């Protein structure tokens, strides 16, 4: 067997949200090249990660989060069925919704 990491199957989910990586990078005022250099990856890979053509490994995502000074969860992809703090919770059946004043 080879020591090479396995490639992501075509259509398999990403570890990251491409648009979140781009947004965080732009908010930090960095170019793709600057962020790639600071994370120890090529500019080509950074471009592919932001375009959604290639997957960022968990280790690369941790380095990106550290360089961008943002929480790792911001860059990670949202998984279906896993609630997030921004999800709205529905009132139990038969209970009226509360209205804001």
Tens digit of pLDDT for each residue in 46-90? 999 999 888 888 899 999 999 999 999 988 877 555 444 444 444
Mean pLDDT for the stretch of residues 29-44: 96
In this structure, the dihedral spanned by the alpha carbons of residues 44, 71, 16 and 1, taken in order and rounded to 10 degrees, is 80
Q: CA 32 to CA 49: how far, in whole Å? A: 10
45, HSE (Cβ side, Cα atoms, 13 Å): 14
Q: CA 38 to CA 24: how far, in whole Å? A: 14
The pTM (predicted TM-score) of the whole model is 0.66
At residue 16, what are phi and psi to the nearest 5 degrees? -125, 165
Could you report the per-residue pLDDT of 11-35, keeping only the tens digit for each? 666 778 889 999 999 999 999 999 9
């Amino acid at each position: 067997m080879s020591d090479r990491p396995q490639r992501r199957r075509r259509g398999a989910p990403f570890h990251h949200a491409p648009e979140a990586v781009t947004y965080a990078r732009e908010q930090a005022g960095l170019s793709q090249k600057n962020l790639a250099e600071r994370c120890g990856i090529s500019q080509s890979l950074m471009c592919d990660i932001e375009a959604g053509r290639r997957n960022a490994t968990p280790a690369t995502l941790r380095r990106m989060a550290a360089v961008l000074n943002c929480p790792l969860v911001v860059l990670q992809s949202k998984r279906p069925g896993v609630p997030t703090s921004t999800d709205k919770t529905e009132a139990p059946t038969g209970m009226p919704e509360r209205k804001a004043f």
